[in-house]
Amino acid sequence: MSFNIKEEKKFTYVEEGEGPVLMLLHGLMGALSNFEGVINHFKKTHTVVVPIMPLFDMPLLDAGVKPLYKYIRDFIKHKGYDKVSMLGNSLGGHVGLVYAVNHQEKLRHLILTGSSGLYENAFGGSYPKREDKEFIRKKVEVTFYDPAIATDELVDEVFDMINDRAKLIRIIAIAKSAIRHNMADELHKIHVPTCLIWGKNDTITPPEVAEDFHKLIVNSELFWIDKCGHAPMMEHSVEFNSILESWLSRH
């Protein structure tokens, strides 16, 4: 897999295809590979855009959900997008929720999958042990229903990230910011069509979280993917794309 990464001013991003803008927001441990199936499927009908959030480049004091939202807000303004469909996984969903609360007029759709914003079991409930690769492997495996999805390459990527002290400090700061920034009292403000696609076996943002999002976001629909963890677009990309394509065609 290789996508052309563009750089303009302070922004780094991928832009593939033509048509209405579908913006993908990655999670705290997310990478472009997480969205490979979504990009390749939807670039036939959409301009698929993946802004790479500056998780590890921002000043430590700014390492949190709101500065990331401001980065996405500024990126959309820089690109001059009129209306976007915004899809966020995990932390990316949280950033999308903050954007939706503040800039609904710029959104066509909101799509959330394994989103934080209400509850998230960060790091599986324990502090990451930096030097222990098997510990990291188990934590990566928890992300998925099928532990085989946690390839050596993926484990190495997370291991390297955790063992970079500057990155680890920011990961922890952003994760804590996400836990503090509970959006339960703000979700009633969101009225754009919202699609919730959730893994039935998600242990990081469990099914109850999806049900609460569904109750609190007025114009939302909830879809389940069985035998699926925290990253449905990665673990079951064909089913995920089918659900999303069908939903988009109705909205």
Residue with tokens 């939302």: 220
- pLDDT band of residue 61 (cuts 50, 70, 90) is confident
Q: Are 184 and 118 in contact (CB under 8 A)?
A: yes
Q: DSSP of 44-79, one letter per residue?
A: TTSEEEEE---TTTS-GGG-SHHHHHHHHHHHHHHH
**Residue ranges per structural domain of the chain:** 5-120+182-250
Q: Say what the pTM is.
A: 0.93
Q: 191-229, pLDDT tens digit by residue? A: 999 999 999 999 999 999 999 999 999 999 999 999 999
Whole-angstrom Cα distance, residue 203 to residue 132?
22
Hey, which CATH number is domain 5-120+182-250, 3.60.20.10, 3.40.50.1820, 1.10.340.30, 2.30.40.10? 3.40.50.1820
Q: Is the pLDDT of residue 121 over 80?
A: no
pLDDT digits (tens, 9 = 90+) for 70-116: 999 999 999 999 999 999 999 999 999 999 999 999 999 999 999 99
Mean pLDDT, the chain, integer = 92
Helix ranges, the chain (H):
36-42, 65-79, 91-102, 133-141, 152-162, 165-180, 207-216, 232-235, 237-250
